[in-house]
Amino acid sequence: MSVALVIAIGGLAAAGAFLIMNRSLTRIVLGVGLLANAVNLLILVAGGPAGEPPILGSDGRGDPLPQAFVLTAIVIGLAITSFLLALAWRSWTIDGNDEVEDDLEDRLIARRRASATRASELRAAQEAAALQDGGVEQTEGTR
């Protein structure tokens, strides 16, 4: 296993993870591609040292199974990337950008909570004011 490959895997995965956390779908697509390739390299490394023909050769022979895995994974990655691109295109035709938006229902609930807190704060303030008024009235009453 070569250190260069391991560094490459780590770099690809880090860059991919960073890109996926963006809001722009185009960046997410790129991130998905990088992540997928990081994993492909990882499986290739899992197969043992490179340089020998996959099945022929005697002692230092490569393992054909991980290569079959990687081939399958590449095909799947292609399908996913093209689907994501189609999604990005559709998003673009609908509202002119490819940003992933918030969930409306989540916002509603968050707003409900915010307004509930505001209402309770208001109520607390009113009660405090009423208490003060009451105190004032009481003192006036005793006079």
- Residue 5 beta carbon to other proteins: minimum distance, rounded to whole angstroms: 13
Query: Any bridge partners for residue 24, and if so which?
Result: 99
Phi-psi region of 32 (alpha: psi -120 to 50; beta: other; left: phi over 0): alpha
Give Cβ neighbours of residue 143 (< 8 Å, ≥ 6 apart): none
Residue 79: CB minimum distance to other proteins, A: 6
Q: Which residue's CB is nearer to other proteins, number 95 or number 140?
A: 95
Q: Which residue lies nearer to other proteins by CB, 100 or 125? A: 100
Please, where are the H alpha helices in 52-103? 64-95
Residue with Cβ nearer other proteins (96 or 141): 96
Structural tokens at position 1: 């296993």
Does the CA dihedral 96-98-103-108 come out positive or negative? Answer: negative
Measured from the CB atom, is 115 or 138 closer to other proteins? 115
Instruction: Please provide the distance, in angstroms rounded to a whole number, between the alpha carbons at the two ends of the chain.
Output: 93
Q: What is the nearest approach in angstroms of other proteins to the Cβ of residue 53? A: 18
> Which residues here bind other proteins, judged by CB under 8 A?
20, 25, 28, 32, 35-36, 39, 42-43, 45-47, 65-66, 69, 72-73, 76, 79-80, 83-84, 87, 90-91, 94-95, 100-101, 103, 105-106, 109
